[in-house]
Amino acid sequence: RVVVVGSANVDLVVDVPRHPGGGETILGGDLRRSPGGKGANQAVGAARAGGAETTFVGAVGHDDSADLLLASLERGGVRTDLVARSAAPTGTALITVSPDGENAIVVAPGANSDVAIGAAQRERIAAADAVLAQLEVPLDVVLAAARARTRGVPMILNAAPSRDLPAELWTEIDVLVVNEHEAADLAGAGADAEMLAGALLARVPAVVVTLGGDGCLVAERGTQDCGPALVRVQPVRVDAVDTTGAGDTFCGVLAAALSRGATLPDAARLASAAGALAVTRPGAQDAVPSAAEVVALSEG
């Protein structure tokens, strides 16, 4: 059983010939509206691609966007009974995409600022075998979720988007998942993924650095006798169509595998196959593959 604590956003996406400057108006293509938000994406990743019984703890408003998100979560097999309804509008990401595929994104957090860990949420987290969070909701929510878990259950933090973490949160993290940019933001300078991961091992027992089309790096603290263990997980070769949601699918599947007691390198191999499948399809939650596809690709 996995509990994912985090954001739910509706993504409003428009293709533009170039991103507008200040004071400028630009005509773009047709508006696309799709379910997103790191928390909701990762919950669908854990449930659908990871095959784990998954609860999403988040908040939405009372609007059409809320209906769209709840329907997508339920279609993905996620339990939504602990999603709160806020008076604020559902979180919304305004995304423009230029012809070279570069995104410019503004997020209006709305209801995501009202996610709370109440008694019911604490109880579900205490019964979980893995807890997964990101940084699109208030830090005190992430901390409360971490503290509600049962001793020994892994707390997995995807430290995205980048922000400084308070000392009391650092000490709760069992597995930190970051891409190279986020790793550099947290670790300061570092020439490569190995050095960044090594620096982060001073603060957390295990780190996974995702490397896009280059796979990922798993780093775990060593014992007294031997130094840190570094495992490079090679990428699965695919034709990339849309990289949106790859990192979120990766995190969801990683948490699902860890909840079943997989080792971190094994969990990362499965997550990497899931991330690769996600980039072959457009969208975020819509691009999440099934658990059977993930297992088939990782064993292929």
| Binding-site positions | 9-11, 37-41, 136, 179, 210-215, 242, 244, 247-248, 278, 281, 283
Contact 110, 88 (CB under 8 A): yes
Q: Residue from 250, 256, 257, 270 that binds ligand ADP (CB under 6 A)?
A: 250
Cβ proximity to ligand ADP, 140 vs 162, nearer residue: 162
Identify the bridge partners of residue 105 per DSSP, sorted by sequence position. Answer: 95
Is 225 a known active-site residue? no
Least Å distance, CB 103 to ligand ADP, is: 11
Size of residue set near ligand ADP by CB under 6 A: 19
Cβ proximity to ligand ADP, 51 vs 61, nearer residue: 51
Contact 9, 90 (CB under 8 A): yes
Binding mask 257-276 for ligand ADP (x = CB under 6 A): ---------------x--xx
How would you write the chain as a 3-class SS string?
CEEEECCCEEEEEEECCCCCCCCCCCCCCCCEEEEECHHHHHHHHHHHHCCCCEEEECEECCCHHHHHHHHHHHHCCEECCCCEECCCCCEEEEEEECCCCCEEEEEECHHHHHCCCCHHHHHHHHCCCEEEECCCCCHHHHHHHHHHCCCCCCEEEECCCCCCCCHHHHCCCCEEEEEHHHHHHHHCCCCCHHHHHHHHCCCCCEEEEECHHHCEEEEECCCCCCCCEEEEECCCCCCCCCCCCHHHHHHHHHHHHHHCCCCHHHHHHHHHHHHHHHCCCCCCHHHCCCHHHHHHHHHC
Which residue numbers belong to the known binding site for substrate?
A: 9-11, 37-41, 136, 248
Least Å distance, CB 208 to ligand ADP, is: 8
- Subset of 182-241 contacting ligand ADP (CB under 6 A): 210-213, 215-216, 235-236, 238, 240
Cβ proximity to ligand ADP, 37 vs 61, nearer residue: 37
Least Å distance, CB 187 to ligand ADP, is: 16
Could you say which of 114, 129, 174, 248 is catalytic?
248
Least Å distance, CB 273 to ligand ADP, is: 8
Cβ proximity to ligand ADP, 92 vs 210, nearer residue: 210
Least Å distance, CB 59 to ligand ADP, is: 23
- Subset of 107-166 contacting ligand ADP (CB under 6 A): none
Per CB under 6 A, 105 contacts ligand ADP: no
User: Which of 159, 152, 147, 146 lies closest to 129, judged by CA?
Assistant: 152
Both tokens of residue 169? 């949160």
Q: Residue from 60, 97, 117, 279 that binds ligand ADP (CB under 6 A)?
A: 279
Instruction: Give me the amino acid identity at 157.
Output: L
Cβ proximity to ligand ADP, 62 vs 243, nearer residue: 243
Chain contacts with ligand ADP (rule: CB under 6 A): 179, 210-213, 215-216, 235-236, 238, 240, 243, 246-247, 250, 272, 275-276, 279
Q: Which residues are catalytic?
A: 248
